[in-house]
Amino acid sequence: WCRFSEQCAARTKTVNSVLAEELEDDTDVYRTAVERVAKFCNDADYMSVWEDVQPSDILKLLPDGPDLPKKPVREDDFALELTPEQLVAEYEKLPLLRQHIDKVEKAMSAALHSGKKVPGYKLVEGRPGNRAWKDEDAVNKFRENHVNGYLLDKTVPVSPTEAEKIIGKEDPELWAELSKLVTRKPGAPCVAADDDKRPEWQNFTEGDLE
């Protein structure tokens, strides 16, 4: 935001894209809001390199006042505005919503793959796959014959799951000792019905773990 120019592009963006929509024909409130946004930008010394900041973000930072438009509601405020009963009702709609979303995504993909022109969308190459050796035999020959071929060697222990399969049957006593060195991160909390057999998740603090 440029404090030295009345032709600030970011200020124009604010006026046109947010304030004008929310204030409609209320000229006095509109003018007051524009002045408050401009003053905020000047006081904060935002320069023109901040032109990409969203006007709604600036409105969130302004102090509340009857002469300003209502600040946009944050996404995480949505849950706070619902009663537990309303939250349950909305949550139980999710399976149908996900099913609908899945159908729409598949239909869009099928249309584009079939060559149909869909306004505003196109197929592009996704993220490339993992790199792999084209000829592992050639790589092994390089490893064996080159002076630095040993750099291709990698010796790491097998995973605990693999170790249990290999050692657990052959040497249960050894696996019993090795299993003491195994650690496992707890599962992330997830929503479940009241009749789920798993115990209710507890939010432990660092103090609880000491």
pLDDT of residue 39: 63
CB atoms within 10 A of CB 56: 14
d(Cα 163, Cα 179) in Å, to the nearest integer?
9
pLDDT higher at 176 or 30: 176
Handedness of CA 20, 22, 28, 32 (dihedral sign): negative
pLDDT (mean) for 27-33 = 58
> Per residue in 48-73, pLDDT tens?
444 444 555 555 555 555 555 555 54
CA nearest 70: which of 56, 84, 50, 83?
56
Encode pLDDT of 129-167 as tens digits: 999 989 999 998 988 898 888 888 888 888 999 999 999
CA 156/CA 153 separation, integer angstroms: 10
Average pLDDT over residues 194-206: 80
